[in-house]
Amino acid sequence: MSSSSKSSKGICILGSSGTIGVNTLDVLARHPDQFHVVALSANQSVDKLEEQCLSVKPRYAVMVNEDSAEQLRQRLKQNACDTEVLAGKHALETIASLPEVDYVMAAIVGAAGLLPNLAAAKAGKRVLLANKESLVMSGKVFMDAIHDNGAELLPIDSEHNAIFQSMPALIEGVQQKKGVTKILLTASGGPFRTLDIDKLHEVTPEQAVAHPNWVMGQKISVDSATMMNKGLEVIEACWLFDVSEDQIEVVIHPESMIHSMVSYNDGSVLAQLGNPDMRTPIAYSLGFPERITSGVEQLDIFKVAQLNFSRPDFERYRCLKLAFDAHHIGGYATIALNAANELAVEAFLKKEIGFTDIPLVIEKALEEAPTGTPDIINDILTQDDVSRRIAERAIADASHSL
């Protein structure tokens, strides 16, 4: 690890204006002697990034949108803030691999996070992965980059972080030797868990983004409603913990207090519990192997009183079934799955297609995806582009039928 002897770790936050980024800064503010922010990035949220730069004064700030970068540059200059503002997608890779950066919080949503996250891995950083798409799209390539460059990979998703806490050994292949038989991946079931299936086609974007337990961005909230989010997490877990999709069971747990469980061959099941607050997995990954305070209230099990569990209905959650199928087929299929889902969710949020059209668009992309798994980044990006064009055609067809 670069600069590992420093008492204060340098942090780069990719996607600092989003929920994960904001929560990361909240945790970091509680430990000013242990961490310092080297770089922040956002797509085009000038106001938010300006506020963050004036607060933590990073050395660099990146805005992917060129016009937004120039706006930020002028505003910071007016406020006598000497943060250097960089622009464009390539600048994300630059800040993710800076020598003075020790940890990279990978919190950019979607496929846009893949290349900067890969750059962090190749630079041997501790990658705090809140972008599941990196593993969904490039599982083998990404894991090889982690292993070959002495990087560390710690999951930020609450479920994968819970598995990590319940399965201490993350070395490839060690899980089987340690007696792991199954991963129990919990899911809230989203806002439509009890809605009549026949009424799902009437669901509006406003209803879909109203998650019952978590505060999240729009895209991930819709993914939670379709349970594609859980499907992507299944694929991510397969790569993170070196298991097959057959060793993962999704469990509907509406209270969202148990974040996931690991079953062992002696009959033990280890679970990680806590209030639904992303600062817990963020703090765990920042402090690992030690634990640091997060600002999250202790779980009151007497107040919770009761925990419920059920199996997911694949008829209700068609996207979850598609994710299992895609991982079984191979990496080209999971790239298609992710690309089509991103565009379908975007179209749904714009009210161009209906809620139940989302899995139909994904199915079209999967039908045309080749079997096998790509092992170079250009093939991954090419398949992503091809799948997006297929999804665009499927969205156009679906929108005409509304």
Looking only at the bridges linking them, the beta strands covering 84-87 and 103-106 are unpaired
In the predicted structure, residue 172 carries a pLDDT above the cut 50? no
Q: Is the distance from CB of 232 to CB of 223 less than 8 angstroms?
A: yes
Domains and CATH numbers, the chain: 9-155 (3.40.50.720), 172-315 (no CATH), 330-402 (1.10.1740.10)
The total of other beta-carbon atoms located within 10 Å of residue 82's CB is 9
DSSP 323-380: HHHHHHH-HHHHHHHHHHHHHHHHHHHTTSS-TTHHHHHHHHHHHTPPSS---SHHHH
Measured at the CA of 76, the angle between CA 74 and CA 79, to 5 degrees, comes to 110
Distance CA 363, CA 330 (A): 15
- Record the pTM: 0.89
Binning pLDDT at 50, 70 and 90, where does residue 178 land? confident
In this predicted model, what pLDDT tens digit does every residue of 9-19 receive, in sequence order?
Answer: 999 999 999 99
In this predicted model, what pLDDT tens digit does every residue of 15-68 receive, in sequence order?
Answer: 999 999 999 999 999 999 999 999 999 998 999 999 999 999 999 999 999 999
Higher pLDDT, residue 104 or 241? 104
In the predicted structure, residue 4 carries a pLDDT above the cut 50? no
